[in-house]
Amino acid sequence: MSANNTSNNVVIVEQIKSLIYKTCLNQDDLNWGDWLDSCDDGFEYAIRSYSPEISADMTYLSGNREHMRSLVDMLPKHNSDHSPLKRHCTVYDVQVAEDGRSATATTSLAVYQTLLDGINSHVDAGSSHLFLVGRYNDRFSISDGQVKFAEREVRLLNRRLDKGSHYPI
Amino acid sequence: MSSRNHAQWTAPPKLSKGEWVDSRIYTDQAIFEEELDKIWKKSWIPVCHESELKNAYDFRTVTVAREPVIVVRGKDMKVRSFLNVCPHRGNMIERRPSGSFREGSPSGTPRHMTCMFHAWQFDMKGRCTYISRQEEGYQDRLKKEDVGLRELRTEVYFGGFVWVNLDDNNPMTVEDWAAGSLDCLRSSLDEEPLEIFHYHKAIIPCNYKLWHDTNCEFYHDFLHYHNRITGFNDAYFARKNSGFNNGHINVGSFEVQYDKYQGFHSRETLSFPHLPPNHWYMVDMFPGVNFNLRGSALRCDLMTPLGPDKVLIEFRGLGLASDTPEERQTRVQHHNSIWGPFGRNLHEDLLAVTAQGACMHPAAENRHILHARHENETIHDENGMRHYYEEWGRWLDRSPSNPDHAFEAYQIPDPASEGQRASA
Ligand code: FES
Ligand SMILES: [Fe+2]
C-alpha cells in the first residue's frame, strides 16, 4: 500500500526522482564515490537480465556497497574500454510505503556509449551508439526525511553485450 | 635494437617454421570459406547444454557453419538435432531461440514442429507428419516419407553438453574426438547433473581463431591485473600446457589465491566435485570451443565464425543442478566477478582481441604473428597455439606461415628443454 498523495510524500517522491537523476549524472562523470555515499549500509546492487535463450533469469554483476566500492577503486589497475557512457532515464513510478520509511521506484533506462578507445580510435572514436536498454528497479530507505538507495536492480534486456564494460550501470 | 624498415618488417622472422603464422589466416575470405567447409562442418560442436532443454518437446535453435540447426528433446527424452530448414521451400522452421512444442503454433498443432509458411509439420524425430492439401497438389508423386528433416549426428556428452556434427561420415564419437583432452575435468563434470545459469554473447570484429588463441595462451595474464595478483607464483608457472590429438589442448591446474584481489574471497566451499579447492583447469578444443573450470563455476565459450573478421562468441556459465538458492547465488557471483560481461577479465580479453582485429583488416598488409615461446610446455609456453595450427594446417592442407603453400609436418626444436638438457 502506498500513500503518495500526502504532502510529505510529494516531497519524498521529488527527492527520489532527483536522487535517481543525480546518480545518472554522477555515474556518467565517474563520480562513483558520490553515488555510493548516497547508498545506505545494507545496499545491494545487481545487474540482471532474463535470457530467452536458456529460459532463465540471470545475474550479470552483483555486490553490496563495499564490494561495489572496491570494484570501482580497482579500475585504474585494470585495462578498460574508457568510452564514456551516458545514462538517459525517466522515472515512471514511485511508491512510498504506508509507514513512510521506504519507497520503490521504476525507471526506464537507455545507456549510450560514445567510442573513445574501444576499437580503432582514429576511425571509431567520437561515434555514439545505443549500448544498453532496461530499467532501474530501486528500493529506498527513508529516515529523518533523508532518502538513500537500499537496493538497485539494473534490469537489462540485452544479452548481447559485445566487449561489455568495467563500469557499473 | 632498432626499429625496422618495410623490408625488414615484412621479412620472415628468424624462427623455425611453426613458430609464427601469417596474419592472412585471420583475414582471408577464401581461407575462411574453406575453414567452414573443411573444419567446422566436420567437427563435433557443443551447441548447448541439456539443461537448456529440460522437458520433452523443449527446443533450442543455433547455427553451425551458416547452417541453422534445431535441437529438440523428444517425448522419449532423447535429444536430437536437425537442420532447422523446411524441406518445402527452405524456410527456417523455428525462429525463436528456445521454447516448447508442447503448445500449438498459429499454423500448427501441439507436439509438432510446424513451418509457418505452408503449415507442413514434423514430429520430434524429424518425420514429416502433415503436408497441407497433400493429395490435391502432389497426388501420389510426393509422400510424407520423402520429406523428413535432415537429422544431424547428436550426442549428449561431458557434463550434459549437446554435441552436433554436420558430417555423417566421420566415424568418431565425441569421446574419440576429444582424444583425452577432457579427462582432467570429466570426474568433476560427470559426478552429478549440471545446470546452466549464465548466457550472454558478443559479436566481435576479429577472426574466431584470435579468440581461441587467447584462450589457449596464458602469457597474456599480463593483461589481467586479477590473474597476476592471484596467480604469478611458482605453482602457476609450473602449470603444464599439453597437446592432444585433433588439435585440442589443456592447461593444468594450480591453487588460485583469490583473497589477494581486494574484495574477493576463496571459492573453497563451492568447489566442483573432485576438484581441489580454488583449482583452475582449462580445455581448448579444436576448432573453437573452450571449457574453463575455476573452482566453483564452469564456463564454456562457443565460437560461431561469421566472417574472416567477425565472430559470435557465446558465453555460458554452469553450476551444479543440486545447488541451493544461496549456493547458486554465490556461484553466480564467483562466475560474474571475473567472467561476466561486467567482470574483471572477460572485458579485458575482448578488448585485446578487438584491437588485434583492428590491426588485421582483410585488405591490410599481412603480418607475422609470433607463437614462438618455449618454456617446457608450461603456462607461458606458446605450444598450445603451435599445436592448434599444426592441426589447422593439416585439415586445410595449407601452411599456417605461408597459406598458399601445402602443409608440411615440421619438427619444432624446443630450445627450453634443450637448454635444460645441456645444463642438466
Ligand atoms: S516452406 Fe515450409 S511449409 Fe512451405
Ligand atoms: Fe584472459
* Per-residue pLDDT tens over the stretch B92-122: 999 999 999 999 999 999 999 999 999 999 9
Q: Is residue B412 part of a domain?
A: no
| Nearest-angstrom CA–CA distance, B100 and B244 | 39
Q: Does A110 touch chain B (CB under 8 A)?
A: no
Cβ neighbours of B52 in A, within 8 Å: 53-55
- Judge if B242 and B362 occupy the same domain: yes
Query: Would you state the pLDDT for residue A8?
Result: 80
Q: Which domain holds residue B69?
A: 45-157
Q: Which of B238, B358, B345 minimizes the C-alpha distance to B301? A: B345
* C-alpha count within 13 angstroms, C-beta hemisphere, residue B329: 6
- Judge if B210 and B271 occupy the same domain: yes
- Judge if B326 and B381 occupy the same domain: yes
Q: Are A157 and A134 within 8 A, CB to CB?
A: yes
Question: Mean per-residue pLDDT for B1-17?
Answer: 92
Q: Residue B422 — pLDDT band, cuts 50, 70, 90?
A: very low
Which tens digit of pLDDT belongs to each residue from B248-273? 999 998 899 999 999 898 998 899 99
Which tens digit of pLDDT belongs to each residue from B169-220? 989 999 999 999 999 999 999 999 999 999 999 999 999 999 999 999 999 9
Using the predicted structure, report yes or no on whether residue B416 has a pLDDT greater than 50: yes
Neighbours of A121 (CB within 10 A): 13
How is residue B131 written as a grid cell? 503436408
Which conformational region is residue B270 in: left (phi greater than 0), alpha (psi within -120 to 50 degrees), or beta?
alpha
Residue B88: CB within 6 Å of ligand 1?
yes
Q: Is residue B124 part of a domain?
A: yes
Question: Mean per-residue pLDDT for B315-327?
Answer: 98
Q: Residue B419 — pLDDT band, cuts 50, 70, 90?
A: very low
Peptide linkage before B287 cis (omega within 30 of 0): yes
Query: Would you state the pLDDT for residue B325?
Result: 97
Q: Where are the domains of chain A?
A: 7-156
- Judge if B199 and B119 occupy the same domain: no
Neighbours of B108 (CB within 10 A): 21
- Judge if B224 and B368 occupy the same domain: yes
Taking the CA of B348 as reference, the closest ligand is 2
Q: How many helices (H) and strands (E) does chain A have?
A: 4, 6
DSSP B347-373: HHHHHHHHHHHHT--TTSPP-EEE---
Percent of chain B with pLDDT over 90: 91
Q: Residue B363 — pLDDT band, cuts 50, 70, 90?
A: confident
Cα-to-chain-centroid distance, residue B14:
33
* C-alpha count within 13 angstroms, C-beta hemisphere, residue B227: 22
Q: Is residue B207 part of a domain?
A: yes
Query: Would you state the pLDDT for residue B421?
Result: 40
- Number of compact structural domains in chain B: 2
Question: Mean per-residue pLDDT for B323-347?
Answer: 97
Nearest to A163 among B52, B202, B316 (CB): B202
Query: Would you state the pLDDT for residue B411?
Result: 75
The CATH class of A7-156 is alpha beta
Q: Residue B364 — pLDDT band, cuts 50, 70, 90?
A: confident
**DSSP 3-state assignment of B4?**
coil
Query: Would you state the pLDDT for residue B239?
Result: 93
Beta strands B121-122 and B113-114, pairing class? antiparallel
Query: Would you state the pLDDT for residue A5?
Result: 63
Amino acid at residue number A41: D
Instruction: Give the residue on B whose Cα is nearest the Cα of A123.
Output: B358
Is the complex ipTM higher than 0.90? yes
Which tens digit of pLDDT belongs to each residue from A38-97? 999 999 999 999 999 999 999 999 999 999 999 999 999 999 999 999 999 999 999 999
For B42, phi then psi, to 5°, come to: -125, 5
Question: Mean per-residue pLDDT for B6-15?
Answer: 94
Which residues have C-beta under 5 Å from ligand 2, the single-atom ion? B 349
Q: Is residue B408 part of a domain?
A: no
- Judge if B56 and B135 occupy the same domain: yes
Nearest to A62 among B98, B336, B346 (CB): B336
CB contact under 8 A, A78 and B225: yes
- Judge if B75 and B135 occupy the same domain: yes
